[in-house]
Structure 1
Amino acid sequence: MRKFISRAAALLLAGVMTAAVAGCGKNSDSEAKDTAKKWTELDQTQITEAMGLGWNLGNQLEASSGGLPSETCWGNPEITKELIDSVKAQGFKTVRIPVSYLDMIGDGPDYKIDTDWLDRVQEVVDYVVNNDMFAIVNMHGDGYYTVDHSWLLCAEDDDKQTEIKDKYGKVWTQIADRFKDYDQHLIFESMNEEFNNDYGKPDEKAYDNINAYNQIFVDSVRATGSNNEKRWLLLPGWNTNIEYTAGDDYNFKIPTDNGCKADGKRIMISVHYYDPFNFTIDE
């Protein structure tokens, strides 16, 4: 997300997620099993109420320079537990944590995420969930045409898409496996504002690739097992745009969720609403 938009998104988080009509590292083994036992079932009404007002932790874990994510490279200090405590004290119940991976991902065929980077992501997630707040973790700048070394590019030719989709699935498998025993306070968001960098109407073929990425995301997360078989998953459409996602004349498709073991639906839809521009974005 562009830096200035990240701040606007904080105001919108609580209102832009709705349940969709779809079917459904650091911890020791003993700690992970204990965490997994604490799951509380929340249906779409209950989790929306529990998440309450949300705050976007922008310009930090998604910040990057020259293709390398760096928490402080856009001028913000390191994230601390005290910051999250302060956010909670203001009445927020949910923190969205945008994360870029970019050059923190190794070469294929394994596409291994840098361990220290994933450790830091987990540390920040723990600041949130251990504070009895909800955390939304996404893959953020990897799909931007304006970011150096981005790779999740929906308008690339078909011969590139096979590699992109393989990499995407393997990266999300690693993220999901790291967090699979976390309880219902953790939500995964597949990506952010993914589009072909053209602000006109969506390109049908590129939109097909976005739909494919969302399906790969759902399948990859569910396949890691444990609480990921019933975790709420958050999915955007074209550029996470409300009209191009919810409108009747476009191409957004809700993935199948055959790996979901929950008693009920576990897919949410993410939309960003930036109108009127002079109020929501223009500084």
Structure 2
Amino acid sequence: MIVITAPTGQIGGQLLARLLADDESLRVIVRDAARLPAEVRERVEIVEGSHRDPDVVAKAFDGADAVFWLVPPNPRSESPEAAYVDFSRAACEAFTAQGVARVVGVSALGRGTAVAARAGHVTATLALDDLIASTGVAYRALALPSFMDNLLRQVEPIRDHGVFASPVSGDLRAPICSTGDIAAVAAGLLRDGTWSGVEEVPVLGPEDLSHDDMARIMSEVLGRPIRFQRTPDEEFRARLVGSGMSATMAQSLLDMMRAKVAGLDNGVPRTPLSSSPTSFRRWCEDVLRPAVLA
């Protein structure tokens, strides 16, 4: 039995589809079962509620061999530690109490870098990895850079104004990966009952790109000029707070972006194992272009 948390999100939804295609025995934790397609509800066990709740995770992990652990975003949290570490404490107790053998979690690059201790969301994510590892469960932390799919949040300015923005310099090259590749790696690990111990599994995409590189590729795929615009730090933070994010979480996101500028994502060598297959150009053709045209 494999348990999937956040099965209606970008990564969890694609992971669920992959494992259903393989006829795996699946259980999902979801706040509202109605958000799952009817054909999915017929094929999985469903535990409704928040995976922060001790009773929910105790029920969901009963008899489970493996768990996919993903903390949902909480932009109004009082702190990143509360959003990631405190959210997961009940689950970590349940891993041990229910005898879960293996956990695959969504994490981040940066462990061992000089800036990891002041990298906002990433610092809290790495602390969560340590908490999970402390339970004694076999654990694979998917060490991830920024996601290509985050650009979907900017479809409107890309379509209407030919621009996308971020608080980093346009010429900074770094790895970037697709959520589809993350789901593929997670599915392989969850199906494999042979691994043990604690390790990071980097998913780096096939190449390092700058935002200027991405603008060029987007222009070619979309057939229109697209440019990158750097957002000043204070404007970035103010926009987040203006959208309803707590000041603490907005600062945490800015700290993460500053850490990326300082090399947070650039410390892991690219190898055949760490390089996932989906190129940014292919992602633009398959995902961004349809979204922009829609």
Q: TM-score, normalised on structure 1? A: 0.34
Larger RCO (CA within 8 A; separation ≥ 6): 1
Higher radius of gyration, 1 or 2: 2
